[in-house]
Chain A
Amino acid sequence: MSDTRTKVATATTTAPESTPAAPSVPAPAATIEKVSIIVSKGSLEGIYPALIMANGARAEGIEADLFFTFFGLDAITKKRWEHIKLATVGNPGLHLPTLLGGMPGVPDLVTRVMERKMDRLDIPPIPEFIEMIADTGAGIYACQASVDLFGLERNDLVEQVQGVITVGEFYERAAGSQIIYT
């Protein structure tokens, strides 16, 4: 293995002493330049991974767009984004009997427990998280078809939303990026 730094190689980098002369222009390491993340679910566990991935991309200097579609729109809808619930039914990973998960009050209780755990790890609540992601320079977009389907207006969406766009416009924006569907 060569000792030469490739990613931030500069004129001041020392050449390895005992290996034969390395090629003068090393092949650049593969990098991801942009991610376009589609959020289609309106549950806590459907939304957080997408937010963490978008925020993490920006932290690495990777461009990021979030495209909220179908129930994912709840995360950027003013009257919903503070009330996102964990799915307590049809969620085997929770290890809770389905019948129990469906009882009144259980979704709220389980959501509160999860929110407390996340708070201890300094994972922000969804509104604060979306504000932060907007501040990182990531794009936040709503799906036109879903906005129409749910009878929403631009004004029903939070101010961080930069536009309501069609699927075609999404693909235009996503040109050259890695598309991630959650």
Chain B
Amino acid sequence: MPTATYDDTTVPVDDQGFFTDPGRWTEPMAEQIAREDGIATLTDRHWIVIRFMRAQYEVKGTGPTVRILGKTSGVGVKELYRLFPKGPAKTAARIAGIPKPRGCL
């Protein structure tokens, strides 16, 4: 299985770079993962989404899709795409150290 090293810790990831063991993720890793996805700095608004991703994953075992994020995270769809231009649910999931959310909406 591929691995990646963030904050001096080596963690297992899938072939798209998503954590396969979310328990290994720590907050200091987020900035480095974000930079790999072209996000230079994580703002408070990014963190609202990242923490929401993790909270949803804890409860449901899967990350939310963009539609759910837009309706329930407190950050609207337009802003989500401004914060995470390469796909909000997908990018935020990777930064939050959870598997890629599945779902068609």
* CB–CB B10/A14 < 8 A: yes
Q: Which residue of B lies closest to A121 (CB)?
A: B105
Closest chain A CB from B62 CB (angstroms) = 14
Which of A13, A55, A61 interacts with B2 by CB under 8 Å? A13
Interface positions of B from 1 to 50, Cβ below 8 Å from A: 1-6, 10, 13, 15-17, 32, 36-37
Q: Does B73 contact A (CB under 8 A)?
A: no
Contact in complex: B15, A5 (CB < 8 Å) = yes
Given known A-B contacts A60-B90, A61-B90, A61-B91, A6 and B15 have beta carbons under 8 A apart: yes
Counting CB contacts under 8 A, is B78 at the interface? Answer: yes
Known: A6-B15, A52-B105, A122-B67. A61 touches B86 (CB 8 A): yes
- How many residue pairs between the two chains, A and B, have CB atoms under 8 Å in the bound complex? 73
Residues of the A chain whose Cβ atoms lie less than 8 Å from the Cβ of B91: 61
The answer on a CB contact under 8 Å between B66 and A136 is: yes
CB distance from B50 to the nearest CB of A (A): 17
Q: Counting CB contacts under 8 A, is B98 at the interface?
A: no
Q: How far is the CA of A5 from the CA of B81 in the complex (A)?
A: 26
Mostly helix, strand, loop or mixed at chain A's interface? loop
Asked if B67 and A124 make an inter-chain contact with CB atoms under 8 angstroms apart, the answer reads yes
Known: A8-B36, A12-B4, A132-B70. A58 touches B13 (CB 8 A): no
- What mask results when residues 5 to 18 of chain A are scored 1 for a CB within 8 Å of chain B, else 0? 11110101110000
Bound Cα distance A88, B88 (Å): 37
Q: How large is the interface on A (under 10, 10 to 19, 20 to 34, 35 or more residues)?
A: 20 to 34
**Residues of chain B lying within 8 A (CB to CB) of residue A124:** 67, 105
Inter-chain contact A8/B16, CB cutoff 8 Å: yes
Q: For the complex, is B53 an interface residue (Cβ under 8 Å from A)?
A: no
Answer yes or no: B74 CB below 8 A from chain A CBs.
no
In the complex, are the beta carbons of A12 and B76 less than 8 A apart?
no
Contact B89 A14 (CB under 8 A): no
User: If A13-B3, A132-B77 touch, does A56 touch B104 (CB 8 Å cutoff)?
Assistant: yes
User: Is the CB of B61 closer than 8 A to any CB of chain A?
Assistant: no
Query: Hey, which chain B residues are within 8 Å of A30, CB to CB?
Result: none
Contact A8 B77 (CB under 8 A): no
Select which of B2, B68, B88 is within 8 A of A3 by beta carbon: B2
A52 to B66, CA, bound (A): 12
Q: Which A residues have a C-beta under 8 Å from some C-beta of B?
A: 3-8, 10, 12-14, 52, 55-56, 58-61, 122-124, 132, 135-137
Q: B residues near A, CB below 8 A?
A: 1-6, 10, 13, 15-17, 32, 36-37, 65-68, 70, 76-78, 81, 85-91, 104-105
